[in-house]
Structure 1
Amino acid sequence: MAAQPKPVRSALMDALQELSQDDLKRFIKELLARKVEGQPRVPRNKVDGKDYMDVADVVVSTFTEKNAVNVAVEILKRINGEVADTLVEETGGQTSQSASTDDMHFVDKHRGALIQRVSNIDSILDDLLERKVINQETYTKIRVIATPQDQMRKLYEGPLKAAEACKEIFYQILQKHEEFLIEDLKGKK
């Protein structure tokens, strides 16, 4: 017999408690930056300097229990996919997001892993510049960033938000320069 789903507020608190302090800060930043037409925004004063319990309360009270899991999973998938999956499981799959991950573009679905594992960033940037996904100014700004992880995050913040076509070109470039990584991620549906 399947386990009874946890209440949304409780499951969300558990999920946020699993995050490191840095990841909780990132969750809060992404929550504040989130702009979705027809959905409320979270006021900064409600979450700044708050702990995981307060943040969970704010998410539920802002988006209602019905939508809180969707919002949290959307953000958590970019930070820690395991925590996002656990939240979906513990709430009994009470999220429309869980069914739609197959509809996501490969580079969105594997965002976290790509940020952590792409190592050949210079060649990727060269190809993105050549294919006009990024311009010279963006190329120069990203090249001076210290770590490959931060360089990848910068790509996701800008050019990869632009259009599906940019994501598709990026994916093709990844297949060329990070062939084994892409094959590994394809095996992890």
Structure 2
Amino acid sequence: MASNKKIILNTLENLSKANFEKFCQALVDRRGDRRVPLSKVEGKNFLAVTNVLVSTFTEAGAPAVTSELLRDIDCLDDAENLGQHFVDKHKLELTKRVTNISAILDQLLDKKVIQAEVYELILRMNVNQQKMREIYLRALQSGDKAKDVFLEILEKEEPYLVADLRQNK
């Protein structure tokens, strides 16, 4: 799974310029035991601001502060999605749009994300959406490691779909 720093970095990178500026101002204006001076964020890019967040609030504490600030500037969807795995965030679209399911199942079996019985059960289904629902139900419920493997497979088997979902958030 991605580190907290990478999750924050991706979230800040996806903010509009105006919302990123609001975020930086909210960070400077934030009250509490650890304060961030304006000079640390003024004119800085999302990478530098991510480093400030992690160095000021620790990698474990920075996501909560980031989420708090996103809510303060009314970026509620970004706050909600902070730390949400790509395959969870895009479950509906992936269920609708993935087509190369047999190759994906082969690799999930090969990487031991699913067992032979589950592989055979899903493979026998007729409708792609039904197969994808079963993958989510039977393979991805085991946690982020399984989701990471699934995403790697998707990146190989459905690269344009993954790129489209990343681009369109």
Q: Give the whole-Å Cα distance in 1 for the aligned partners of 2:121 and 2:129.
A: 14
% identical equivalent positions? 40
**Structure with max Cα Rg:** 2
Within 5 Å, give how 1:24-35 maps onto structure 2: none
Write the letter of the residue equivalent to 2:98: V
TM value normalised by structure 1: 0.48
Q: For 2:134 and 2:142, how far apart are their aligned partners in 1?
A: 13
Question: Counterpart in 2 of 1:103?
Answer: 83
What residue is the counterpart of 2:136 in the other structure?
156
Q: Secondary structure at 1:146's aligned position in 2?
A: coil
TM-score by length of 2: 0.54
AA aligned opposite 1:107: V
Matched residue count: 96
Aligned to 1:122: 102
Structure 1 unaligned spans of 5+: 1-92
Tell me how far 1:168 sits from its aligned partner. Answer: 0.1
Q: Give the corresponding residue for 1:182.
A: 162
Deviation string for 1:65-114 (max 9, x for gaps)? xxxxxxxxxxxxxxxxxxxxxxxxxxxx7xx7761213100000000000
Q: 1:158 deviation in Å?
A: 1.5
- The one-letter amino acid of 1:172's match is E
- Note if 1:165 corresponds to 2:145: yes
1:1-20 to structure 2, matched below 5 A, reads none
Q: How far apart are the structure 1 equivalents of 2:148 and 2:78?
A: 23
Report the alpha carbon displacement of residue 181 of structure 1 after superposing the two structures with TM: 0.3
Q: Which deviations, in whole Å up to 9, do the C-alpha atoms of 1:30-66 show, x marking residues without a partner?
A: xxxxxxxxxxxxxxxxxxxxxxxxxxxxxxxxxxxxx
Equivalent residue letter for 2:155: Q
Q: Distance in 2 between matches of 1:97 and 1:187?
A: 16
**Whole-angstrom CA distance in 2 between matches of 1:167 and 1:112:** 15
| CA RMSD between the two structures | 1.7
**Any unmatched runs of 5+ in structure 2?**
1-73
